Amino acid sequence: MDLKTATPLQIDTELARIYVIETELRKTRQGLRRGQLNAMARFERNDFAGTQYHPTFEARNEAFVTSMISYDERIAAKDAEIGECWAEAKPFQDEYRSRPWRRYFEVMNTNGHIHSSTHCGTCFNTTRFAWLVEYADQSAEDTIYKHGTSCCTVCFPDAPVVEKDNAIIGADGKCSNKGWISIGREDRYSPYAKCSHCGEIASITKAGNLRKHKAGPDA
């Protein structure tokens, strides 16, 4: 591929392919490291691989050292493969930096908005994004036309705003909206979420809906 003449879509498609491979390599590496740490913990508890397999102290130590060497070698191999991914991606990243184009990302949760950057002030450092590669260099106007209220109004000031349905707020001042936005860490479950209508924090039912709650500041 001639990067100087390649389209943004061609370049981002190739980058996305490399990133998928890198992500899987990182997952495998993390699994190996966890296995190594577990083996170290078992060794310290004196139950490494079971005494029935290594009845003597010397045999147990030798098996442990062999296991650690094996883990180190496999982890190093994954590190090398990850490094190869970085090297493969670098020319594509450099081309993007030399002539930046528009990119779009969708938040991976219920009612997640589309953003023009992963650094939007409405998101958190734990927010997970899906890279919308197919929209490489698409104009903001076209993105708004296709996705309307799903577009973040900070990233897209001209995007339409969802009209509030006052019927959701009852006479008792409580909101019955069931849609929610995650407020928890991506690696830890939270039984609470933010109402996508009024902004109040409420608990989530077993069915995955937000419980009826007092109307929040955005109602």
What's the pLDDT tens digit per position in 158-201?
A: 888 765 555 577 777 788 887 777 776 555 567 888 887 788 89
Task: Report residue 78 as tokens.
Answer: 């994954």
pLDDT tens sequence across 85-144:
999 999 999 999 999 999 999 999 767 889 999 998 888 888 899 999 999 999 999 999
Q: Do 73 and 25 have their domain in common?
A: yes
Domain holding 135, by residue range, is 105-150
Say if residue 111 is in the same domain as residue 186.
Answer: no
Residue 92 to residues 8, 17, 30, 77, 89: CA-CA distances in angstroms?
10, 12, 26, 24, 5
The pTM of this model reads: 0.67
Same domain for 90 and 118: no
94 and 12 in one domain?
yes
For residue 47, what pLDDT band results from cuts at 50, 70 and 90?
Answer: low
Q: Residue 4 gets which letter from DSSP?
A: T
Tokens found for residue 171: 């006479």
Please state the domain count of the chain. 3
DSSP 17: H
